[in-house]
Amino acid sequence: MIDLKSKRIVVTGGAGFLGGFVVEALKARGCRDVFVPLHADYDLVEPANVKRLYDDFRPDLVIHLAAVVGGIGANREHPGEFFYKNMAMGLFLLEEARRRRIEKFVALGTICAYPKFTPVPFREEDLWNGYPEETNAPYGLAKKMMLVQSQAYRQEYGFNSIFLLPVNLYGPRDNFDPASSHVIPALIKKCVEARDAGAPEIAVWGTGNASREFLYVADAAEAIVLAAERYDGAEPVNVGAGFEIQIKDLVPLIADLTGFKGRIVWDATKPDGQPRRMLDVSRAEKFFGFKAQVGFEEGLRETVAWYEQNR
């Protein structure tokens, strides 16, 4: 068990959606030396900037959340950029941390690292049993390389790096930009705008048959901080809520919560993405005592309310 209060902690991506909640969770535990490097000051795709970051903040612990991310559309348009930038950040941050003998590195992977046809619920043992879903494979594989690097560095150098696999996140302060947002914020924005315009219908990508699991962002932040405190193992660990919902059930739920009364039209010419997603979350509970606390409908209400107040 690490006492985080006494540590100097760098949270890459700490100004982002998940990062803001992680920083709040750390401060709630009494951590005073929490540093958030901004992209404008430290573009972590360049090794010189990674070195400068470590020189400036001298961390004991690094929580690496920074990523170049987006939904299916953004992944299809920028596979090269998503691969290179995510790969480079993980590669240089881990290597420089290892050289400087930093106490611990917490690497955030992605559910997109799992094979396309992983049996449900996804178990960590299945991570290498096939190629990821094509639309986000470059992103998923780039993040997955941090697991390989973490395990290799532990084996050769005794470096303490852990790897977490969070499911799709949602919650207040999410990214609602339609060009890069994920499914829940995209649907909330679409439903609210259609409601306000009195539109008779909304169009939704895919058939609605795909299923997803969603984790409330404050729960995810708590899981990351618990892992930073309590988990020092080589094995990857899923972070999720342990349930799934089909998109065809999710859309009417969001329509109801936003007060959109029109029709839902499915555009089956657009991709569904991975057919099913749901995690086996038993390792997280066993290894560091994490269990999701916020119910799905409760979390959605909070997210809709935040969007209505801040759009």
By annotation, the residues acting in catalysis are 139
Q: Name the token pair of 217.
A: 């962002």
Q: Name the one residue in this structure whose structure tokens are 């852990």.
A: 162
DSSP letter, residue 166: E
311 vs 305: CA distance, rounded Å: 10
21 vs 14: CA distance, rounded Å: 8
196 vs 16: CA distance, rounded Å: 28
From the number of C-beta atoms within 10 Å of its C-beta (0-12, 13-18, 19+), residue 60 rates as middle
- Bridge partners (DSSP) of residue 43 are none
26 vs 30: CA distance, rounded Å: 7
Q: Which of 60, 113, 79 is nearest to 279 (CA)?
A: 113
- For strands 237-239 and 161-166, give the pairing: parallel
- Bridge partners (DSSP) of residue 61 are 9, 104
Asked whether the beta carbons of 36 and 15 are under 8 A apart, the reply is: yes
Q: Which of 108, 127, 142 is nearest to 221 (CA)?
A: 108
DSSP letter, residue 118: P
**Residue type for 109, please?**
G
